[in-house]
Amino acid sequence: MSSRHLIGKSEKQTTPVTTKIANINLLGYHLLSHLLVVTMSSARKSSMLCIVYVSEGVNKNVLRHLTDTAIAGGKLAHSFPDAIYGRTSFFLTGDGPRLADRAVVLCNEAFKLIDYRYTSGTHPALGSVDHVCFQPLGKTTLVGRVEH
Domain range list for the chain: 3-136
pLDDT higher for 38 or 116? 116
- Nearest alpha-carbon partner for 35 in 94, 100, 81: 100
Cross-sheet strand order for the sheet of 87-95: 75-82, 87-95, 47-54, 129-136
Query: What topology is assigned to 3-136 in CATH?
Result: Formiminotransferase-cyclodeaminase; Chain B, domain 1 (3.30.990)
List the single range of 42-46, 85-89, 95-99 with lowest mean pLDDT: 42-46
Instruction: With beta carbons less than 8 A apart as the criterion, state whether 70 and 106 touch.
Output: yes
- Asked if residue 137 lies in contact with residue 93, where contact means CB atoms within 8 angstroms, the answer is yes
Q: Is the pLDDT of residue 49 over 80?
A: yes
Please check whether residue 90 is in contact with residue 79, taking contact to mean a CB–CB distance below 8 angstroms.
yes
Model confidence, pTM: 0.67
Residue 119, pLDDT > 90, answer: no
